[in-house]
Amino acid sequence: MSDEETSYASAGVDIAEATRALNAVREAIERTYGDRVVGGLGAFGGMFRSSFPDLQNPLLVSSIDGVGTKTAVAQMVGDYSGIGRDIVHHCVNDILCQGARPLFFLDYFGCSSLPAKAFEQVVASAAAACEATGCALIGGETAEMPGVYREGEIDVVGCIVGVVEFDKRLPRPCMGAGDRLIGLASSGLHTNGFSLARKALFEIGGASVDDLLPGSDVTTGSALLAPHTCYLSALDPLLKDDLICGLAHITGGGIPDNTRRITPDGLQAVIERGAWTLPAIFSEIQERGGLSGDDMMEAFNMGIGMIAVVKPDSATEVRERLSASGQAAFDIGELQPGEPSVKFV
């Protein structure tokens, strides 16, 4: 090892360990490649063939997001095996709201000094999620930045690019008064609201990640780390059959902010409280933290991970097909005339 490398390692950046950790997940990453990926690991940029013979007017759709402080819960539990999957699913759902299917994905792993086990778990689960959704993991960045990140912290971010036929992009102009709002169940918090959840549960409420949720055999830590649901396989057939007018991914800002993002001028979304089953973790957060219902709605998805806008005569078919795919769904409200807003009744 050269003096320069020794000096860099002594400053907290171990290039050799980063290389070893990357090689440990190389096979998982390369399984996501198809014949459209050109080159491989180690290039300065990922290359992807951009021909779309099945589309007349292809439109690229991109998104970038992070898992936020869910990583802090993973650190508390000692399990990062779902974090990579979380960020892939989050990004896939985001571009699904434009009707797009994923093409390729890039990840960012930030830390003070590289925790090899956590890195391997995160990247391996991201690769598995990419493989399952037909998305190539073509690049990434591992950033060791002592002095920027605190020791033991990690930060996980993902960037995705997908494609949709221009005329099939969402939201569609077909939305109107009387359209039904179909809520697709979440598995829990997904990847948003963890700063408030941790404060409510652990700082104020005195809970531990090992505590069982009341009336269950599920620990608080397991409930918080429940994977971010990917809605691609459930919704893609409905998109192909033109049964979806709009989609809202319920992330930061909860149901109100995200539903407003797709509500057309002259319409308001009227949502019925109690129209769906609330996962127990949300009640635990609210009770331990002494939070109001409005606080909860603004911070969390409250058990609804995606809202689909559908025509009234299609609502039953959509719910039945979602149920047949294994995705729980609820008729939670409708669009009504009014200023763009979300109203709970």
Digit-coded pLDDT (tens) for 62-120: 999 999 999 999 999 999 999 999 999 999 999 999 999 999 999 999 999 999 999 99
pLDDT above 80 (res 18): no
pLDDT in tens, 40-50: 777 788 899 99
Q: What is the pLDDT of residues 277-298, one digit of tens each?
A: 999 999 999 999 999 999 999 9
Paired tokens of 141: 């960045």
CA-CA distance, 18 to 339, in Å (whole number)? Answer: 53
Indicate whether 19 pLDDT > 80. Answer: no
Give the mean model confidence (pLDDT) for residues 23-39: 88
137-175: b (≥16 Cβ within 10 Å) or e: bbbbebbbeeeebeeeebbbbbbbbbbbeeebebbeeeb
Cβ atoms of 103 and 139 within 8 Å: the answer is no
Two tokens, residue 284: 């635990």
Closest residue by Cα to residue 152 from 75, 68, 73, 70: 75
Higher pLDDT, 337 or 17: 337
Alpha helices in the chain (DSSP H): 3-10, 15-24, 26-30, 70-77, 83-96, 116-132, 194-198, 220-224, 232-240, 254-260, 280-289, 293-299, 315-324
Asked whether the predicted pLDDT for residue 8 surpasses 90, the reply is: no
Quote the distance between the C-alpha of residue 35 and its chain's center. Answer: 27
Query: Which pLDDT belongs to residue 20?
Result: 77
| Across 28-37, 192-201, 275-284, least confident range | 28-37
Confidence (pLDDT) at 1: 47
Largest CA distance in the chain: 72
At residue 337, the 3 state secondary structure works out as strand
Whether pTM exceeds 0.85:
yes
Q: Which residue from 134, 144, 323, 341 is spatially nearest to 255, judged by alpha carbons?
A: 341
Per-position DSSP letters for 172-233, written without gaps between them: -TT--TT-EEEEEEPSSSTTS-HHHHHIIIIIIS---TTSBPTTSS-BHHHHHTPPPPP-HH
For helices 232-240 and 315-324, the axis angle rounded to 10 degrees is 140
Share of the chain above pLDDT 90, in %: 83
Q: Quote the radius of gyration of the chain (alpha carbons, Å).
A: 21
pLDDT of the residue at 9: 59
Predicted confidence (pLDDT) per residue in 266-280, tens digit:
999 999 999 999 999
